[in-house]
């Protein structure tokens, strides 16, 4: 019998419990309040960053999981209350430090990729959501910024309905399927129209980049609105190390429109890393036969014209649309399907085509 648990022993295991959103030890974050031990009875006070923290149950589960197996623990009681403003402020300052360099500027550690197209509805958002998950599945840390402020679709595609929360003045991305996301959809009532004008748009994107706790991900994928214009300009200003991946469909007319997205990239002085052709062909589920539904080969032509690699050809597949509507991208919902396989290959091609910034030694 190893006797009663000790306060030190409990704090030691709590040190390994990470906040699901902040990815730091709850002890280091100052989220562990009083810990009292009376014989086999343990009481732990957890200080939540906000009162209605949506991840409360998860934190409770993680704490329970490490404390209950400790020798001598008979009953565990966890109380949760919210931090004071001052505690929150201290936590927030600890996260960002006084002059922490941005991971998105020259010399930063994050590879930033904007997914663009000349026209709407070619599958940018579906592709961005799937690439983000595919990269996360390869062990990378991934942020997904929904820069389509008026026509946002990432929350629905990634199946997230909970609102983003702020710690002090720092906005937390919403995390699902291993991807950290920020979208105007996490900040507004569903279906309420967003009617901001140009300057507001730039301000919103600026906040999404500078006031969100992205925590230096390996990749930041940016889902752009259709067309060219204001948002690309903002992106070039705010994320000067970005490169673009251009999405087109195979039709020649579509390819011509996609060319405009490439022209925009060159106007704002950002490189194009490659082209992804979407809705390229159809694989009959019963026979496996492949049908080129739209002729044209627009993706290959555009890539050749720009002198960049064709990073992938994604088949037209009902499961892509279904999975998007259900909130679980096809790479996770049907990982063996032709579209999922093509999307995973495209993710690998991106890893190969876009060099990771040389990391300065820390």
Ligand X SMILES: Nc1ncnc2c1ncn2[C@@H]1O[C@H](COP(=O)(O)OP(=O)(O)OP(=O)(O)O)[C@@H](O)[C@H]1O
219, 140 contact by CB (below 8 A): yes
Show contacts with ligand X in window 322-341 (CB under 6 A).
324, 339
Q: How would you class 22 by CB atoms within 10 Å of its CB: exposed for 0-12, middle for 13-18, buried for 19 or more?
A: buried
Stretch that binds ligand X, among 132-140, 192-200, 249-257, 313-321 (CB under 6 A): 313-321
CB of 117 to ligand X, least distance (A): 6
**Does the footprint of ligand X cover residue 243 (CB under 6 A)?**
no
Candidates 1, 94, 11; CA nearest to 49 is 94
**Does the footprint of ligand X cover residue 183 (CB under 6 A)?**
no
> CA-CA-CA-CA torsion for 228, 326, 279, 117, nearest 10 degrees?
10
Candidates 13, 16, 134; CA nearest to 68 is 13
**Does the footprint of ligand X cover residue 130 (CB under 6 A)?**
no
**Does the footprint of ligand X cover residue 218 (CB under 6 A)?**
no
Q: Residue 124: what are its φ and ψ, rounded to 5°?
A: -55, -55
**Does the footprint of Mg ion cover residue 249 (CB under 5 A)?**
no
**Does the footprint of ligand X cover residue 250 (CB under 6 A)?**
no
Candidates 296, 309, 302, 223; CA nearest to 260 is 302
> What is the C-alpha to C-alpha distance for residues 120 and 116, in angstroms, rounded to an integer?
10
> CA-CA-CA-CA torsion for 326, 329, 333, 334, nearest 10 degrees?
130
**Does the footprint of ligand X cover residue 285 (CB under 6 A)?**
no
Sequence length of the chain is: 362
**Does the footprint of ligand X cover residue 248 (CB under 6 A)?**
no
> What is the C-alpha to C-alpha distance for residues 233 and 196, in angstroms, rounded to an integer?
17
Nearer to Mg ion, 125 or 243 (CB): 125
**Does the footprint of ligand X cover residue 123 (CB under 6 A)?**
yes
CB of 122 to Mg ion, least distance (A): 9
**Does the footprint of ligand X cover residue 146 (CB under 6 A)?**
no
Nearer to Mg ion, 119 or 124 (CB): 124
Helices (H), 148-297: 154-157, 198-210, 230-238, 252-267
**Does the footprint of ligand X cover residue 277 (CB under 6 A)?**
no
Other C-beta atoms within 10 Å of 300: how many?
A: 16
- Tokens of residue 228, six digits: 């060219």
> What is the C-alpha to C-alpha distance for residues 277 and 271, in angstroms, rounded to an integer?
18
**Does the footprint of ligand X cover residue 245 (CB under 6 A)?**
no
> What is the C-alpha to C-alpha distance for residues 278 and 63, in angstroms, rounded to an integer?
44
9 binds, among ligand X, Mg ion, none (CB under 5 to 8 A by kind): none
**Does the footprint of ligand X cover residue 242 (CB under 6 A)?**
no
19 binds, among ligand X, Mg ion, none (CB under 5 to 8 A by kind): none
The mark string for 86-125 relative to Mg ion (x by CB under 5 A, - otherwise) is: --------------------------------------xx
**Does the footprint of ligand X cover residue 151 (CB under 6 A)?**
yes
Q: Please tell me the count of residues contacting ligand X according to CB under 6 A.
A: 21
CB of 302 to ligand X, least distance (A): 15
317 binds, among ligand X, Mg ion, none (CB under 5 to 8 A by kind): ligand X
Stretch that binds ligand X, among 120-128, 199-207, 252-260, 297-305 (CB under 6 A): 120-128
> What is the C-alpha to C-alpha distance for residues 28 and 30, in angstroms, rounded to an integer?
5
Which positions lie near ligand X, rule CB under 6 A? 117, 120-126, 148, 151, 153, 226, 278-279, 314, 316-317, 320-321, 324, 339
């Amino acid at each position: 019998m190893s006797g009663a648990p000790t306060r030190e022993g409990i704090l030691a295991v709590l040190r390994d419990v990470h906040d699901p959103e902040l990815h730091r030890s709850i002890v280091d974050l100052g989220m562990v309040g009083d810990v009292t031990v009376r014989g086999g009875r343990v009481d732990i006070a957890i200080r939540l960053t906000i009162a209605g923290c949506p991840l409360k149950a998860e934190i409770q589960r993680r704490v329970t999981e490490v404390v209950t197996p400790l020798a001598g623990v008979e009953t565990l009681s966890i109380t949760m209350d919210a931090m004071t403003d001052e505690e929150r402020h201290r936590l927030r300052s600890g996260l960002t430090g006084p002059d922490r360099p941005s991971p998105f500027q020259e010399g930063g550690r994050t590879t930033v990729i904007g997914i663009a197209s000349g026209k709407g509805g070619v599958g940018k958002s579906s592709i961005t959501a799937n690439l983000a998950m595919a990269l996360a599945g390869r062990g990378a840390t991934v942020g997904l910024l929904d820069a389509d402020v008026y026509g946002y679709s990432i929350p629905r595609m990634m199946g997230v309905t909970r609102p983003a929360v702020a710690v002090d003045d720092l906005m937390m991305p919403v995390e699902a399927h291993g991807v950290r996301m920020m979208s105007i959809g996490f900040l507004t009532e569903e279906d309420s129209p967003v009617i901001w004008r140009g300057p507001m748009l730039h301000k919103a994107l600026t906040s999404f980049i500078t006031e969100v706790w992205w925590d230096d991900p390996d990749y930041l994928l940016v889902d752009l609105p259709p067309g060219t214009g204001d948002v690309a300009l903002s992106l070039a200003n705010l994320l000067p190390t970005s490169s673009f991946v251009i999405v087109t469909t195979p039709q020649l007319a579509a390819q011509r429109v996609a060319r405009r997205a490439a022209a925009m990239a060159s106007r704002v002085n950002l490189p194009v890393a490659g082209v992804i052709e979407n809705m390229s062909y159809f694989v009959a589920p019963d026979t496996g036969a492949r049908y080129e539904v739209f002729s044209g080969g627009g993706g290959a032509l555009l890539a050749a014209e720009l002198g960049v690699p064709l990073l992938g050809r994604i088949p037209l597949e009902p499961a892509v649309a279904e999975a998007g509507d259900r909130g679980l991208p096809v790479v996770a919902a049907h990982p063996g399907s032709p579209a999922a396989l093509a999307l995973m290959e495209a993710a690998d091609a991106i890893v190969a085509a876009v060099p990771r910034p040389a990391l300065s030694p820390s």
